[in-house]
Each structure stands twice: as C-alpha cells, then as structure tokens.
Structure 1
Amino acid sequence: MVFGFISAFFRRLYLTIIDLYTLPELRPMLFGFMKQRLLGGGANIEKVHDGHGGIVSTLFVDGVPLPPFPSLRSNLRQIDKFQVRSDDIWIVNWPKSGTHWMWEVVMMLSSGQAQLRDSVKVGAMFPEACTLQATEKMTSPRVLDTHVPFKLFPKAALKSKIIYTVRNPKDACVSAYHHQKGMAVHNKVSWEGTFELVTNGKAHYGDWFDHVEEWLKVLENNPNALIVTYEDMKMDLKKQVRRVAEFLGYKRSEKFYDDVAKLCSFGNMKKEKRDIKSAWSKESAGIYRKGTVGDWKNYFTVAQNEKFNEIYNRRMKNINLDLKFEL
C-alpha cells in the first residue's frame, strides 16, 4: 500500500512537470492545485458526501457547487472587472456536453487553420481556470469557455457571441461520473453516488435543468447566441461546423468544413489531441473516453431510469428542447 502511494506520487509529480513545460498557459492553475494539496485543501473547500460512501471536493459560491479551481473564487469577486472585447466568443454549457469539441471547432474557424491546437481549452476557461489578468493578455479573437450558471457569468459578455451546447442529461451524467472517477486526486465516487448528486442538483455546477433553463431563457431571443446539441454534432458534424461558421461570420470553403469535421472527429481527437496528463489517474481514459450517444443504457438501472424520466418529463415542460437519448 505504501509502495503504491509512493509510486502514484512520483508518477503525478513527473506528469505535472511535463504539463508545466508543455502547457505554459496552465502554470498558474497547476501551481495553485499543488499549493492546495500541500496545504491539505483550502479553507473554502468542502467535502460533499454522495450518500453512497463517495466524497467530492467542492467549492460553494452563492450556493452553487463548483470544482475547487484555485483562482475561481477570486475571479468571481472581480467578475465585473472583466473587459469585454467586440470579437469575443464564448462556449457555455453544463459539464460534459462537448466543450472541448466545440472549442476546437471554433478555434479552427476563427484562425482559418484546420489543425488541432497545441493548447487546451482549460487555458481559456474563465472564470474557473485562468485568471482575470490572463484573459487580458489573450490575443483576439478570444475563444473563452465556461460551465458556470448564468448568475455567475459576466453580464457584460452577453454582447459577445455565445454558443451554448447541450447534451442529453443521461449521457452527461455518465460522463460526469467517469470524469470524477478518473481524476488523480480528491474524489472518491461511485456511479450510484454520482446519480444521486446529479438528480439532487448537488453535482459540480448545480442542477442540469436549472442550468439549461436559465441560460436558454437569456439566450433564446439573443441574436448573438447559438444553441447546438451534442447529438446533432454526432449525427452530422460538418453540418454543425458550417452552422457555427455562418453564425460567427467565419464562412469558409466546403473543403475547410470537411477538414475540420475530420480533425474534430472523436476518434482523431482522442488519438491526437493533447490532454492535461497530471489531471488523471493511471487507469483513466482522460478527457476523451467514448463520446457516444446512448452510453447511459450501460449504467442506468431500471429504477434509476424511471426516476430520471419522471424528473425529466416534469422539468422539461419549461424547456423548449428536443434532445436525443440514442441514435
């Protein structure tokens, strides 16, 4: 047991050094996490119990459960100081709903270069991962991303282009489970516990239905907003790439759309895209696991499915979305 702990420690240290060297934009965040671990967490970090023996480290801000990013609370205190630029692009969603995927698409469209970025989207994740000062140093057009509910979002940024991606909540729930389970530190979770946290609105970033409903109410009549579903991207990625390009005003050739769709296919992203190596346990598949539609059927019990369907049918009465749970 002691040998296993020592082995895991040195593996994590080695991978952190690699990340610090290859992903310089993440250095403040990585050093912040190292400081948290050395100090045994943080004064504002709580251990949330999932009712099934699992524990998730959580930072609460205005009642919203959030992941314990080192600069998150400080960024939210200064959120009104965020300086909006006219060409900013935001990708917003509840976690595990295609953020990395859409970020890569938008980066290719905005740059006019069909190639995967050496950087990772976490480096442009505000207010979670990068600092306010880091956003000011970014070159335009900035492609920013966040999972925060609307009440924590910088309101001045509503003048920017916003792409809100939505994934069916059953698959998002399963993906959230694997994300938490695969992290290298601080979370001990089970599928049953994750299901309870999600259905009770206690998972990171809060209730899925509240998140989607609040954002859609704000964005539905906003000409600067586009709603894209994860399932539509899975069915016809090129079509959605073209749709996003036209929305952003970055109209490109059909060949360019073909190239983007090929490079951003899940298989290619999983194979070629750089990930934060130190974030994951040895057994984890990392950020790119399956990327399928309908994987929830391998996890939901009959009782869980019935419970979730009852919640979904009741809560979706106020949400004008037709989501697909299988293809």
Structure 2
Amino acid sequence: MAGTLEGQDKGKMNDYNIIDGIHVSWVTPPSTLEALKTFQVREDDVFIVTFPKSGTHWLMEIVYLVMTNGDMDKINRYMMEQGLEFTMCAGPSEVPKTKPGYKHMEEWESPRVMMSHLMHRFLPPQIWEKKTKVIYVARNPKDVLCSMYHFFYTLMPEEHRQWNDFVKAFISKEMIGGDWFTHVHEFWTQCKDMDNVFIVKFEELKKNHRGIVKQVAEFLGKDLTEEVIDKITSLTTIDAMHETYDKLEEEPGGNIRTKAFGMLPFLNKGHVGGWKARLTDEQSKLFDDALAETFKDTDFTLEFELKEK
C-alpha cells in the first residue's frame, strides 16, 4: 500500500536533511520546501499548523465541522490524507516517484483545509501576503514529548528506544522537524498579533472546549447557531472522535486517514498532565529551564496540569 512503512528499515526514520539549521525529515525533501516558496495560496484557504502531537486532528475535525455547519456527511475526508509538506511513501527512495502533499492540494476544490507541521519560516509566503487564515495549536511540551514517544515507539530503531535518550533528543536543537521550543517561539513572537492567525493552546481547548469551538467559528467567519455549536462540541470530544475514526477505518483505505502511514494512530488519550507519570524531577526541570530561557522576553504561558471534572 502506498504511504505505508510496513516492512521498511526502521533506520529510515532517522534520514534527514539540514535546511536553515533545521533537521528536516526525508518525507519533506528540499525540493518541497523550495516549491512552497511559490505555492499558490487562496484567500479562502485555512491552514492548521502545529508541532506534532499537539492536537492537530482535534482542530482539524473542529474546523471541518465548522466549515460544513456541523454536517459530518459533507466533510471532504480526502483532506485528511495529506500534509502540506509531506510526501507519503514507503521510504526515501520512493520520494522522487511520489506526488507530494502540496501537489495534491493544488488540485483540491476550495475551500481547502490544509494541515502542516512546518515551522513558520518554511510556510508559503503567500499566506502572509494574502492574509489567509491560519490556526496554530500549542501544547505543553512535556505532554507532547510523551505523546510523541508513544506515537513513534514502534518505528524507532532499537538503539533509540531508551526513554532518557528520547528526552534528550526532544529537548535538543537536533529534533527532526525542528525543536518544539523554536517552533512555538517563532509562531508566538511573529504571529500572535496578526488578525489572520488564531493561536489556541491545547490545555485551553480542554478547559473551554465549547468556547474555543465558538471562537474558531467566529475566526472563520461562520455565523453558527448555538445548537450547531453544541453539536460540533459533542462530535469533537475525544470519545466521539474515536467513534468517528473507527467508522472511517471501515471504509476502503480509511486507515490512511486515521493513522500516519496507515500504521500510527493519530488519536490517543488527549490528556493533560500525563507527563507526571513519565518524567523524573530532573527531566521536568530541564523543560522548565528551557521554557524560561526560550520565552523569557515574551508573555507566553502554558498549563501543565488541569483539574479533572
């Protein structure tokens, strides 16, 4: 099956290029980043940008439902299969023979909802020229770390499965795709005051689910009734989304829409504070120190625990 890593050499997960000082995975070749400099953005596009495992598919589902006035049957699920910068194939040798995500998106009908994990510096410049809508999701890095470890564990080479090594890699500047700290700092400092950018924190979405759904609708210019807002909120709880994804997997090729490479489930538990069961006090302090240094001259804040309702 195209786009699956089944049976592939797991060492390929470590193949990357260094571009502008950032370690960029083989699924995003240099030619793609060059092409995105002239990617034709449309004024009614919606970009959902996140660091991986930060609530990407949660926001995607909310946006899909907002765009369709809460009608699940009108969602174009094909948009789940591609990421702007990704070439979804079995390994580096297949990249030149496989159509990249942005090429698929060029063929989509408007309005397009496009997902990306790119850092601010690599996104298409026309986004800022045309003031196209961008939703950026930030999640506390301690929970992101735990979610990423769970997500990638089965594809890691044996020598890289040690928890301590993964913690050190995550917090370093050599993280594939760019480290969390630089990724979030770039967006916060450059975009937080832009009218065409809506920055939402994962923890705030957990606390104020319905309120954020309403804010997303307003940001996208959709005048939805309170009943539709209620419906969207109900359909985008973690339990409801698991039900939706289970149904999608029953369709031909459905696992490509619900799992990365058809293997790695996008949805997990979506908890806040799970890191407390994994990180030692020393490891937690590494994050605290890095956060304090990275955001010392900003007003950026995060929550690391929430009281259970």
Closer/same/farther in 2, CA of residues 90 and 278 from structure 1, 3 Å limit = closer
Of structures 1 and 2, the one with the larger relative CO (CA 8 A, separation 6+) is 2
Q: Give distance in 2, aligned partners of 1:177 and 1:240.
A: 28
**2:155 aligned with 1:197:** no
Q: Which moves more between the two structures, 159-168 or 312-321?
A: 312-321
Q: Give distance in 1, aligned partners of 2:260 and 2:291.
A: 36
Q: Cα offset for 1:314?
A: 2.0
State the match for 1:251 in structure 2: 223
Closer/same/farther in 2, CA of residues 186 and 193 from structure 1, 3 Å limit = closer
Q: Unaligned regions of 5+ residues in structure 2, if any?
A: 88-99, 249-254
Contact 1:108–1:115 (Cα < 8 Å) also in 2: yes
Q: Give distance in 1, aligned partners of 2:23 and 2:142.
A: 20
Matched residue type, 2:65: M
Aligned residues: 281
1:101-112 equivalence runs, <5 A: 101-112=58-69
Closer/same/farther in 2, CA of residues 223 and 213 from structure 1, 3 Å limit = same
Matched residue type, 1:261: T
Q: Unaligned regions of 5+ residues in structure 1, if any?
A: 1-15, 17-26, 48-54
Q: Cα offset for 1:184?
A: 8.6
Closer/same/farther in 2, CA of residues 280 and 56 from structure 1, 3 Å limit = farther
Secondary structure of the 1:145 match is: strand
Q: Cα offset for 1:194?
A: 1.6
Secondary structure of the 2:136 match is: strand
**2:301 aligned with 1:322:** yes
Q: Cα offset for 1:60?
A: 3.3
**2:119 aligned with 1:152:** no
Matched residue type, 2:305: E
Matched residue type, 1:296: W
Q: Cα offset for 1:270?
A: 2.1
Of the candidates 215, 228, 231, which is equivalent to residue 203 of structure 2?
Answer: 231
Q: Cα offset for 1:121?
A: 5.4
Q: RMSD of the TM alignment (CA)?
A: 2.7
State the match for 1:65 in structure 2: 23
State the match for 1:5 in structure 2: none
| 1:12-42 alpha-carbon deviations (Å, 9 max, x no partner) | xxxx4xxxxxxxxxx5xx28x68x95xx69x
Matched residue type, 1:279: F
Contact 2:82–2:101 (Cα < 8 Å) also in 1: no
Q: Cα offset for 1:185?
A: 8.5
State the match for 2:142 in structure 1: 170
Secondary structure of the 1:151 match is: helix
Q: Give distance in 2, aligned partners of 1:185 and 1:153.
A: 30
Secondary structure of the 1:216 match is: helix
Contact 2:17–2:24 (Cα < 8 Å) also in 1: yes
Of the candidates 257, 268, 272, which is equivalent to residue 289 of structure 1?
Answer: 268
% identical aligned pairs: 29
Matched residue type, 2:208: D
Matched residue type, 2:61: E
**2:75 aligned with 1:93:** no
Contact 2:260–2:266 (Cα < 8 Å) also in 1: no
State the match for 2:108 in structure 1: 138
Matched residue type, 2:268: R
Contact 2:44–2:111 (Cα < 8 Å) also in 1: yes
- TM-score normalised by the chain length of structure 2: 0.81
State the match for 1:210 in structure 2: 182
Q: Give distance in 1, aligned partners of 2:294 and 2:135.
A: 23
Closer/same/farther in 2, CA of residues 66 and 122 from structure 1, 3 Å limit = farther
| 1:191-226 alpha-carbon deviations (Å, 9 max, x no partner) | 222211111122222121111111122212211111
Closer/same/farther in 2, CA of residues 184 and 197 from structure 1, 3 Å limit = closer
Q: Cα offset for 1:59?
A: 4.1
Closer/same/farther in 2, CA of residues 224 and 85 from structure 1, 3 Å limit = same
Q: Give distance in 2, aligned partners of 1:235 and 1:79.
A: 35
- TM-score normalised by the chain length of structure 1: 0.77
**2:261 aligned with 1:279:** yes
Contact 1:56–1:189 (Cα < 8 Å) also in 2: no
State the match for 1:119 in structure 2: 77
| 1:226-261 alpha-carbon deviations (Å, 9 max, x no partner) | 110101111121110000100110121111111111
Q: Which moves more between the two structures, 118-127 or 159-168?
A: 118-127
Q: Which moves more between the two structures, 74-83 or 90-99?
A: 74-83
State the match for 1:24 in structure 2: none
